[in-house]
Structure 1
Amino acid sequence: MNPLAAPDHKDDFKLKDTKPQLGERWPHGGPRGGGGWISSERATSTYDLVEQMFYLYVRVEKAKDLPTNPVTGSCDPYIEVKVGNYKGKTKHFEKKTNPEWKQVFAFSKEKVQSSLVEVFLRDKEIVARDDYVGKVVFDMHEVPTRVPPDSPLAPQWYRLEDPRRRDSKVKGEVMLAVWMGTQADEAFPEAWHSDAASVHGEGVFNIRSKVYVSPKLWYLRVNVIEAQDVEPLDRSQLPQVFVKAQVGNQILKTKLCPIRTTNPMWNEDLIFVAAEPFEEQLVLTVENKASAAKDEVVGTTNLPLHSFERRLDHRPVHSKWFDLEKFGFGALEGDRRHELKFSTRLHLRVCLEGAYHVLDESTMYLSDQRPTARQLWKKPVGILEVGILSAQGLLPMKAKDGRGTTDAYCVAKYGLKWVRTRTIIENLNPKWNEQYTWEVYDPCTVITLGVFDNCHLGGSEKPATGGGARIDSRIGKVRIRLSTLETDRIYTHSYPLLVLQPSGLKKMGELQLAVRFTCLSLANMIYLYGHPLLPKMHYLHPFTVNQLDSLRYQAMNIVAVRLGRAEPPLRKEVVEYMLDADSHMWSMRRSKANFFRIVSLFSGVISMSKWLGEVCQWKNPLTTVLFHVLFFILICYPELILPTIFLYMFLIGVWNYRFRPRHPPHMDTKLSWAEAVHPDELDEEFDTFPTSKQQDVVRMRYDRLRSVAGRVQTVVGDMATQGERFQALLGWRDPRATSLFVVFCLIAAVALYITPFKIITLVTGLFWLRHPRFRSKQPSVPSNFFRRLPSRADSML
């Protein structure tokens, strides 16, 4: 029993069916617009995978002809919108009587208890209380309802009123628009929300929902061919040089030229990842190995990336010569450094390759398999729609004012498009009800959704763990493979948010989603199943495993930097978690999980072999007799063998249709070996790289790793031994054994030639199915012969 996961909590790790009220009818117009209800078809046409949430929107455009303060002679105006107990404020302008704000306020209807909307114009005072200038009041029952795709409500000028004055009218007007809408409104993402009224300053920008586009990534292939006229600083010795190439923070080097010469040759490829727009340059430096500890710069050149050819197929790229520049010291200029052109040249073949899919994530969870170049894209085969509804039972992630709280938001990634919901402040059961759409170019892809706790709201929150790190905490992640979804069906499930922590497996809450995959062309989708998974260049010019790991890491860093520039930024810790940055790291838990995956994979074959063994051993005489009958029928009619096999598989497929999965796949704790993992193995998995543990702990783990690796090494060696024994059958490493096998092959060829195939098969089958009374407990002659064959293990040290 695993001490880290209580058995009564195992049901919490399962997927749950939900029945949210999606696409309900909703009011349109109100009394001023004629009232009534709109049709459900219109209400659910574009935003039908979420529950409708109504908001009162107040758009504050600008003001004009505002009165000045009689004391200061100026006006520092700002707007305060009040609905019940909720107040929202615009920024204030100094000494401006015609300000423009262009700001939208959104108040959740279900939390509003007032029937009035009050818009106050105030004058900012530094010392005294802000002066009240005037206000505009709206009756909630008179506010019209707007439903997209209706055009936005036009703002109007409203005269300010002051009930304290007799005429109630004051100087100045404010341009406003007030309407009732839903989260489908265009103003929703940029609006100030009443449920985030406690957030101020820069934190306001970090709670908004946004759509991000991942930068277009290219492979930069630099083929370093040769150099000419390399001149070292010490001209008494021939140079032994190499080329160092740098793009941003990516640095690669060629091998050291094996001979000392002024015209070295390499013909070596250096691969980088570059993102549009190309901000970095390709910096090439030729360096001479002056000594074991010193490399001297011979020459350098800077090349802009946009000047290189963009290769969209496997056609060759023309090479070019590039002049290098070096720095020296002039006799007339003292110690001042200056550039000197000289005759050293570098022969390169450089291109930007867009016919690849740049791997910005693990190949197990590809969400986009198109090449980078848009010219090679094909039409989409489907539409993916995801409604991010809510989360339930989230655990407190930080402490605020002595109590636990969570400021949750959700991030979804598919293809080049990333989306981020708005942050729900101080709520363990947040409701987002936001819907997003992606075009699907290949159904054999994965969408990833992650839930995070926002730690950049500008308050005094502290992580619940007591640490001081200001990073967005991970709450959990969900992956859904599109090919496992039925088309045109809405899946509404609650996914458990599971996180593996140093203390063990922990459920952080549940994420409720509504997912629909719509097929645009069934013929094109079926056509894709017979074509390669990745673009053509992946197979014509494949990369090595080490190159892929390096390129994937560099691509992830570039994506994190670019998305971190947005407002609000999608921070590096979020990008790394969504792209499974640590999936390549070794852990005992993952090794066990993969081992048992292999065991499970061969369990069917093992079960079949056991069943056949029981048939041969006559454990159930009736089954064995029936097998004999089937065997005789197939021998008499050999043309039925292949049809029988395919018919059997067809029947199995039809039978298994009753037991097909009814819901999308989700995180399997048993498959991940997360429920029964040992605490020390978890501590090792969360250790830094390089390790930060004490020497005795590292020694214990190293000895354990050697033990596990030793068993793996033994299994791999045994498999190699069996393969080498097959090679030895005709390899004459054992002349007597090979002679016996060659003679046996000759006799078998003659016997098979003169004996009908049916007779051979029948005799072989009957011998294999013979009764245990006629069997020997000793190994058979072929087994003894095979085990005596030599392998190359004798030649290993």
Structure 2
Amino acid sequence: MPLSKADKRFLPSPVGAKWYNLDTSMSDDVADKKNVKFASRLCMRFSLDGGYHVFDEATAYSSDLRATMKQLWPGTIGVLELGILSAKGLLPMKSRDGRGTTDAYCVAKYANKWVRTRTVDSFDPKFNEQYTWEVYDPCMVITLVVFDNCHLHPNGGTDTRIGKVRIRLSTLETDRIYTHSYPLIALQPTGVKKMGEIQLAVRFTCSSFFNLLQTYTQPLLPKMHYIHPLSPYQIDSLRHQSTRLLSIRLSRAEPLLRQEVVEYLLDVGSQMWSLRRGKANVSRLMGFSQGILAVWVRFDQIRQWKNPKLTILVFILYVFVIFYPQIIIPSVLLIPIFGTGIMNFRNRPRNPPHMDIKLSQADTAQPNDFEEEFDTFPSSKHGQILTARYDRLRSIGGRLVMLIGDLATQLERIQSLLSWRDQRATSMFLMFCLVAAVVIFMIPPKHLLLFSGVFVMRRLRFRIDIPALPQNFFRRLPARADSLL
């Protein structure tokens, strides 16, 4: 069945079913097919689903999330202008006539438009080329990579990576020209290295500020992804196929883009195992939790009466909130959230972010970590190297399994409060709930909250250093870990 005859499906509703003749002839000769008698017919739906977006990039920094069919594309909200001005301080990538040289060129991608600059033989190349894109969503990312053209050399192989730059449009102010130099960082099997800098001029022009704000309230993906979602396996398979087709098509374009360039720009292999990337993600989680931890440390200092005046002031505010509960939500929205946001405005970022070596854990990674990260899949290593990697992976996996097990144990202890696995503990908990219900019913909520605040903020001489009673009770509750082999 020719795909040109397939129905186009834009909406979640299915297309109409049709009858198709079954052909028993395996020959491509038209005369042979005419002599074949009728075999049978098959009723089925045959359509091209244009309501999905086929991912070709990593979802964390995608440049386009529109549907395949142009009829479902949203309206443009602005224009992105990119000026690739120059690069400086590039390292020699190869040797020619006994001297080091670099033939640098840049490739940029936003949405489905790819651009490439000319090749310049210099350590400080001047490109001075400008490109424009139509913007449909301000939260997308434009990616630019710099390569060394090795095919100008008689014995050249694949083009060598020099560096990559990502810019998220939402970090740009509208109608402002950003002229900034971005470091070009390259990960190599021997370690991380700064390959030079590239100077870019970027401007995001908004046609309608109201439409720009309205975009933030719209779904990221097309409607079909929410009504009939694709499985993770289907998304990965489609991404692999789209990358392969893009590599074939762009290798025939003018100017051509080779497979290694396309795969590097699309971050092919970013889902593979990397100890360095895992440490970086853990560091990101710890960075987020530091704010919560700082709040708890500050509150604990108040509880410990480190500053008696501040403790008394906080307690007075707490009492005031108890007797006027209608100001709780406005106070939270106004003081901690709105106030913090206004105070952080002075320290807002002035320039778009760039590749961070420290955040990527590239400065502390070991040589064997880079060697493992750049290894092929399946691995090209043998013997003791694979044994050492497997043992290290088992050690990391063991700690992760223990962490997940501890979390499951705590959750099962909560569940065991009412499961009667420990009859005495469940009886004690039910009696506590009964007494607490009677006390809460008899005592006004204001007085109960006031007593709770006094108990939490009590002076140090009225406290004990051993764990509290609820904590001791909770730690003795049973969990299903006893039944594990």
- TM-score computed with the length of structure 1 as normaliser: 0.58
Question: What amino acid sits opposite 2:174 in the alignment?
Answer: T
Gaps of at least 5 residues in structure 2 are 28-34
Please name the residue that 1:427 is paired with.
122
State the distance in 2 between where 1:520 and 1:360 align. Answer: 28
In structure 1, distance between residues paired with 2:473 and 2:148:
65
Report the residue type matching 2:5 in the other structure. S
- Paired residues of 2:413 and 2:474 also in contact (CA < 8 A): yes
1:567 to 238, 241, 254: 254
- How many Å separate the matches in 2 of 1:371 and 1:692? 39
Change (3 A) 1:652 1:307: same
- 1:617 equivalenced with 2:304 (yes/no): yes
CA distance in 1, matches of 2:432, 2:46: 59
CA distance in 2, matches of 1:625, 1:380: 56
Give 1 or 2: higher helix fraction.
Answer: 2
Q: How far apart, in 2, do the equivalents of 1:443 and 1:586 lie?
A: 31
Superposition deviation, residue 347 in structure 1: 5.6
Q: CA shift at 1:344, angstroms?
A: 6.7
Alignment correspondent of 2:357: 669
**Is the 1:324–1:341 Cα contact (8 Å) retained in structure 2?**
no
Q: 1:484 aligns with which of 162, 166, 171?
A: 171
In the alignment, the residues of structure 2 paired with residue 320 and residue 717 of structure 1 have an alpha-carbon distance, to the nearest angstrom, of 53
Instruction: Tell me by how many angstroms 1:340 deviates.
Output: 6.8
The amino acid across from 1:350 in the alignment is F
1:251-290 matches, within 5 Å, as: none
2:65 is matched with 369
Q: Does the alignment pair 1:383 with 2:79? A: yes
Partners of 1:639 and 1:615 in 2: how far apart? 25
Corresponding residue of 2:30: none
Q: Secondary structure at the match of 1:674?
A: coil
How much does 1:779 deviate?
Answer: 1.7
CA offsets per residue over residues 257-291 of structure 1, 9 Å max, x none? Answer: xxxxxxxxxxxxxxxxxxxxxxxxxxxxxxxxxxx
- CA shift in 2, pair 1:347/1:722, >3 Å: farther
Deviation track 1:749-781 (CA, whole Å, cap 9, x = no partner) reads 222222111111111111111122222222212
The one-letter amino acid paired with 2:13 is R
Shift of 1:346: 5.6
> How far off is 1:792 after superposition?
2.4
Q: Distance in 2 between matches of 1:770 and 1:576?
A: 62
State the Cα distance separating 1:523 from its structure 2 match: 0.7
- 1:257-406 equivalences in 2 (<5 Å): 303-320=1-18, 322-325=20-23, 343=39, 348-406=44-102
**Structure 1 segments unaligned to the other structure (5+ residues):** 1-302, 330-338, 463-469
Q: Which residue of 428, 447, 461 maps to 1:773? A: 461
Q: 1:695 to 1:617 in 2, by over 3 A?
A: same
- CA distance in structure 2 between the aligned counterparts of 1:487 and 1:715, rounded to whole angstroms: 45
Match of 2:143 in 1: 448
What does residue 212 of structure 2 align with?
525
Task: Give the residue type in structure 1 aligned to 2:429.
Answer: F
Query: Secondary structure in 2 aligned to 1:630?
Result: helix
Paired residue for 2:407? 719
**1-structure distance, mates of 2:281, 2:291:** 17
2:421 aligned with 1:733: yes
Shift of the 750–384 alpha-carbon distance from structure 1 to 2, 3 Å rule, reads same
Secondary structure at 1:631 match in 2: helix
Cα distance, 1:401 vs structure 2: 1.2
Change (3 A) 1:680 1:757: same
Q: Determine if contact 1:400/1:460 at 8 Å carries over to the other structure.
A: no
**Which sits farther off after the overlay, 755-764 or 315-324?**
315-324
Deviations 1:290-312 (A, max 9, x none): xxxxxxxxxxxxx2222222111
Q: Would you say the 8 A contact 1:368–1:415 is kept in 2? A: yes
Q: Which has the higher contact order (CA 8 A, sep 6+)?
A: 2
CA distance in 2, matches of 1:340, 1:499: 62
Moved more, 724-733 or 635-644: 724-733
- Cα deviation digits, residues 651-709 of structure 1 (max 9, x gap): 11111000000000110111100011011111111111111112111111100000011
Q: Which amino acid aligns with 1:581?
A: V
Over residues 182-219 of structure 1, what are the superposed CA-to-partner deviations in whole Å (9 max), with x where a residue is unaligned? xxxxxxxxxxxxxxxxxxxxxxxxxxxxxxxxxxxxxx
Residues 721 and 434 of structure 1: CA distance in aligned 2, closer, same or farther (over 3 Å): same
Distance 1:676 1:768, change over 3 A: same
Distance change >3 Å, CA 713–CA 349, structure 1 → 2 = farther
Match of 1:605 in 2: 292
The aligned residue for residue 347 of structure 2 is 659
Corresponding pairs, count: 479
Using the TM superposition, give the Cα deviation of residue 571 of structure 1 relative to its aligned residue in structure 2, in angstroms: 1.2
Q: Is the 8 Å Cα contact of residues 416 and 479 (structure 2) preserved in structure 1?
A: yes
1:611-650 correspondence runs (5 A):
611-648=298-335, 649-650=337-338
Q: Secondary structure at the match of 1:530?
A: coil
Show CA shifts across 1:324-349 (max 9, x none): 455799xxxxxxxxx97784766643
Report the Cα offset of residue 317 of structure 1. 3.0
What do the CA deviations read for 1:144-178 (whole angstroms, capped 9, x no partner)?
xxxxxxxxxxxxxxxxxxxxxxxxxxxxxxxxxxx
Shift, 1:544, TM fit:
1.8
- Structure 2 counterpart of 1:510: 197
Answer yes or no: is the 8 Å Cα contact 1:328–1:340 preserved in 2.
Answer: no
Match of 2:279 in 1: 592
Q: Which amino acid aligns with 1:310?
A: K
* Contact kept in structure 2, 1:367 and 1:445, CA below 8 Å: yes
Q: 1:779 to 1:552 in 2, by over 3 A?
A: same
Q: Secondary structure at the match of 1:659?
A: coil
Q: CA separation of 1:709/1:342 partners in 2, compared to 1, >3 Å: closer, same or farther?
A: farther
Kindly indicate whether the alpha-carbon contact (under 8 Å) linking 2:80 and 2:205 is maintained by their aligned counterparts in 1.
yes
Q: Distance in 2 between matches of 1:651 and 1:471?
A: 54
Q: Quick check: 1:616–1:624 contact (8 Å CA) kept in 2?
A: yes
In structure 1, what is the Cα distance between the partners aligned to 2:251 and 2:391? 42
Q: CA shift at 1:732, angstroms?
A: 3.2
Identity of aligned residues (%): 57
Q: Specify which structure has the higher proportion of strand.
A: 1
Secondary structure, in 3 states, of the residue corresponding to 1:411? strand
Q: Tell which structure's C-alpha radius of gyration is larger.
A: 1
Whether 1:755 aligns to 2:443 is: yes
Aligned to 1:438: 133
Match of 1:153 in 2: none
Task: Indicate yes or no: 2:111 matched with 1:415.
Answer: yes
Indicate if the aligned counterparts of 1:384 and 1:515 stay in contact, CA closer than 8 A: yes
Residue 160 of structure 1 corresponds to which residue in structure 2?
none
**CA separation of 1:346 and 1:404: change in aligned 2, threshold 3 A:** farther
The 1-side partners of 2:302 and 2:320 are apart by 17
Q: Secondary structure at the match of 1:602?
A: helix
Mapped contact 1:412–1:449 kept (Cα < 8 A): yes
Residues 150-161 of structure 1 mapped to structure 2, 5 A cutoff: none
Contact 2:116–2:255 (8 Å) recurs in 1: no
CA distance in 1, matches of 2:74, 2:241: 27
Question: What's the TM-score once normalised by structure 2's chain length?
Answer: 0.94
- In the alignment, the residues of structure 1 paired with residue 430 and residue 40 of structure 2 have an alpha-carbon distance, to the nearest angstrom, of 64
Q: What CA distance in whole angstroms lies between the structure 2 residues aligned with 1:320 and 1:783?
A: 67
Shift of 1:614: 1.8
Contact residue 487 and residue 519 of structure 1 kept, 8 A: yes
- CA-to-partner distance for each residue in 1:579-625, whole Å, 9 max, x for gaps? 00121111110011111111111111111112212222222222222
* Counterpart-to-counterpart distance in 2, 1:795 and 1:531: 48
Q: Answer yes or no: is the 8 Å Cα contact 2:54–2:235 preserved in 1.
A: no
CA distance in 2, matches of 1:341, 1:628: 92
Residue in 2 that maps onto 1:764: 452
In the alignment, the residues of structure 2 paired with residue 340 and residue 405 of structure 1 have an alpha-carbon distance, to the nearest angstrom, of 67
What pairs with 1:775-790 in structure 2 (closer than 5 Å)? 775-790=463-478
Query: How much has 1:356 moved relative to structure 2?
Result: 1.5
Q: 1:576 aligns with which of 263, 266, 282?
A: 263
Q: Residue 744 in 1 paired to residue 429 in 2?
A: no
Shift of 1:460: 2.4
